[in-house]
Structure 1
Amino acid sequence: MPDVVNTEQAHAWNGPEGTHWARNQDRWNAVNEGFNEPLLDAAALTVADRVLDLGCGSGQTTRLAARGTPHGHALGLDLSGPMLAEARAGAEREGITNASFLQGDAQAHPFDAGEFDTAISRYGVMFFADPVAAFANVHRALAPGGRLAFVCPAEPLLNGWVVAMTSLRDVLPVGEFGQPGLPGMFSLAEPDRIREVLTAAGFTGITVSRTEALGAWGEGAEDAADFLLGTGPGRHLMEQTDAPGRSSARRALTNHLRAHETADGTVRLRSTSWLVTADRPATPADRA
């Protein structure tokens, strides 16, 4: 994979983390798909748009964008080979012919200038080593008048899965979730940081609004606990303790999640995110 500058992320998403997400794509979509409609509404796609989906993962949002642009095209870009394989298979299975997928690093990929009308992302833009450089590269890839729309997590404790994990502090070495300024899930959790990055990258008309969704994390508390403990953060924490400690953690997490079981037994946790839009303005040079 050429032109990769986020090498640590590339290693993670082509290793156990990427394999986990690809194997559990349906479950992750059940967690996050409540943000699909707000994201695509904010993107305001037209039937002929050329769409770039940043950090597309297993491609659900790319396929939705392709369906919304029947005379256009949607390109899903991601670092993860395992997830892109699932994305391609999903597009073929659904008979979507105006979507394609590319393994690459959005921070450094040599897009053609003005190649896209719209760029979108659902939880795919928080991991750049240099977010200003990455968004400047996306800015260059957008045509004059182009639009950026993405969803990223708000502060950690506004997200139910983080609250669930922090409930384990008595049995696991749970630290802080998210380090401001460093790549990771919560690197853009502060609205002022989002505006700072996008402004430095050349975007204007920036809006940041709070949005929430209830995600389905499992069929019953035990299933949801196993799923959470199988994620990257969960695996990392469980590796820090012995077998009795792991049993205690699983039991404590299951007890916490029982309070979130709905009438049909599904465990639903609230996710709180920022819905961000920004414009790639036309410059005098563009109009010349």
Structure 2
Amino acid sequence: MQTSEDIIREQQRAVWNQFAPGWKKWDDFTMRFLQPMGDAIIKAINLKDTDAVLDVATGTGEPGLTIASIVTKGSVIGTDLSENMLTIAQEKAKQLGLTNYQTQLADVSKLPFADSSFDAVSCRMGFMFFPDMAQSAQELVRVLKPGGRLATSVWAGPEQNAWISLLMGIINRALQVPPPPAGAPGMFRCAKPGLIAGFLEAAGLSGVTESVLSDQVIYKDADEYWANMNEVAAPVVSALKQVDQTTIARIKEEVWTSLREQYGNGELALPFSTLIIQGSK
């Protein structure tokens, strides 16, 4: 019998397989956007060139691919639930000539690795999707060697992430979208300070610290913003596919008006904020 967590995993797998083509199309843009978080994770795990590293929820490959270019005498395994996303990661590794990077389809709550297998574990923007965050934290720490380092990033609150909350706020008001159930997977599920740190400490990580990383994502104009959101942002696509073109046009006009009023015409510099959590075993 399927549990609610099994159902969530299947939904996540289906969604990410569906969105893989859009992520591939926008990969250069998205990787630039997410690079500050990847860089912070890489700094936190203090890599040696011989390290064996696990990159969980690797998606199209980062920060695992960058890590593979650093651990030249070591190795990186990137895991994800989505076969289609992993295919993109494999293609990128081949293009980059990274022979020490491989992917493996895996569920973070039941990682197919022995205890103490990795010198470091990275996880950029993954925890918000894990059905059981406590169990996932236990697994990440279990496969980490004693003395190994772990770092992860999650989104801070919606008020600090106008790049998505501006659009979703307008959509939610226009369509009267009910709020998700408490604790359901979603972008801001992990925004509460100390939440993920607490899971990692309970799983056995020590010296856990949490810091805020804030920056801006740059869109060349409102057209690029709208196109990007309609091809890579699952909650946007899910909401808009339920309504007619007239409603979509009205929402789009309200979004553009809000963008112009708050950020001006032309290039858009939209703020984002994340939490970086790190520790050692």
TM-score calculated relative to the size of structure 2: 0.88
> SS of 2:43's equivalent?
helix
8 Å contact kept, 2:106–2:112: no
Change in CA separation of 1:23 and 1:103 when aligned onto 2, cut-off 3 Å? farther
In structure 2, the partner of 1:84 is 86
Within 2, Cα distance between the matches of 1:182 and 1:70? 39
Instruction: Give the counterpart letter for 1:141 in structure 2.
Output: V
Deviation of 1:98 (Å): 1.3
Query: Superposed, which structure 2 residues align to 1:205-220 within 5 Å?
Result: 205-216=207-218, 218-220=219-221
In structure 2, the partner of 1:278 is 279
2:19 aligned with 1:12: no
In structure 1, the partner of 2:199 is 197
2:50 aligned with 1:54: no
Change in CA separation of 1:174 and 1:268 when aligned onto 2, cut-off 3 Å? farther
> SS of 1:228's equivalent?
helix
8 Å contact kept, 1:152–1:189: yes
Deviation of 1:169 (Å): 5.0
| CA deviation vs aligned residue, 1:81-135 (integer Å, no higher than 9, x gap) | 1111111111111111111111111211221111100001211222111111111
Deviation of 1:207 (Å): 0.7
Within 1, Cα distance between the matches of 2:92 and 2:193? 34
Within 1, Cα distance between the matches of 2:43 and 2:106? 26
Deviation of 1:256 (Å): 2.5
Give the number of the structure whose residues are more often helix, by fraction. Answer: 2
In structure 2, the partner of 1:157 is 159
Change in CA separation of 1:61 and 1:227 when aligned onto 2, cut-off 3 Å? same
Change in CA separation of 1:54 and 1:77 when aligned onto 2, cut-off 3 Å? same
2:143 aligned with 1:141: yes
- Aligned-pair identity (%): 27
8 Å contact kept, 1:225–1:257: no
Instruction: Give the counterpart letter for 1:273 in structure 2.
Output: T
8 Å contact kept, 2:67–2:76: yes
> SS of 1:107's equivalent?
helix
8 Å contact kept, 1:172–1:240: no
| CA deviation vs aligned residue, 1:48-96 (integer Å, no higher than 9, x gap) | 1111111011013111101111111111111111111111111111111
TM-score calculated relative to the size of structure 1: 0.86
Within 2, Cα distance between the matches of 1:21 and 1:173? 28
**Cα RMSD (Å):** 2.1
Change in CA separation of 1:200 and 1:7 when aligned onto 2, cut-off 3 Å? farther
Q: Where do 5+ consecutive residues of structure 1 fail to align?
A: 281-288
